[in-house]
Amino acid sequence: MKGIVFTEFLEMVEKEFGLEVLDQIINESNLASGGIYTSVGTYDFIEMQSLIVKLSEKTGLSVNDLLYAYGKTFFAVLEKNHANIFSLYSGPLEMLASIENHIHVEVRKLYPGAELPTFRIIQQDNHFLEMMYYSDRSMYMFAKALMEQTFAHYHENSRIELEMVQENGTQVRFRIYKEPHAVS
């Protein structure tokens, strides 16, 4: 997993839960890196898992809720660092349908060693996208947050349904609906 995912995560922990919780989760997680990450480095995903499980214990929030919250934060990083990618797409569904064959392909070139999920498109039209998510990291709530923020980026509304195909979250079916704007 890329260092930027760790550095941004730790920044979020400090901001939301304070320096003390940050120090505690780093000290109690038994990290091979010692908790020192550079944004361009590559580290074992096990370290992220330990940090997030510890944070869950400290805060009483579930790992999934924390991954979802982190996805919301991480999207802002993507928007800031990769604004050019967003300008290539006319809307959220076009962008989400291109993650597998374009966006993450470019990401692999920019971030050697990146561990990315696989998305497989099942069905697609102008208002709907059905995709399968596959990843050993089971970060489907992180994915859901990124999807919702993609809609927000294009000022569109979404409704996103998840179906656990594997109980451990390594295979999840997403049904993504573009919803009409509320009439005011």
CA dist., res. 114 & res. 112, Å (int): 6
- Cβ–Cβ contacts within 10 Å for residue 32, how many? 11
Helix axes 19-28, 3-17, angle to 10 degrees: 130
Examine residue 52 and tell whether it contacts ligand HEM (CB under 6 A). no
Q: Which helix (H) or strand (E) holds 159?
A: strand 157-164
β pairing state of 171-179 and 157-164: antiparallel
Binding mask 143-162 for ligand HEM (x = CB under 6 A): x--xx--x------------
Examine residue 78 and tell whether it contacts ligand HEM (CB under 6 A). yes
Binding mask 1-40 for ligand HEM (x = CB under 6 A): xx--x-----------------------------------
State the DSSP code for 78.
H
Please identify which residue in the block is written with the tokens 């039209």. Answer: 125
Examine residue 171 and tell whether it contacts ligand HEM (CB under 6 A). no
CA dist., res. 133 & res. 1, Å (int): 18
Nearer to ligand HEM by C-beta: 16 or 94?
A: 94
Measured from the CB of residue 106, what is the shortest distance to ligand HEM in angstroms? 7
Examine residue 142 and tell whether it contacts ligand HEM (CB under 6 A). yes
Measured from the CB of residue 22, what is the shortest distance to ligand HEM in angstroms? 20
Examine residue 61 and tell whether it contacts ligand HEM (CB under 6 A). no
Examine residue 176 and tell whether it contacts ligand HEM (CB under 6 A). no
Contact 33, 43 (CB under 8 A): yes
**What is the gyration radius of the CA atoms in the chain, in angstroms?**
17
* Residues that bind ligand HEM in the complex, under the rule CB under 6 A: 1-2, 5, 78, 82, 85, 96, 99, 103-104, 107, 111, 114-117, 135, 137, 139, 142-143, 146-147, 150
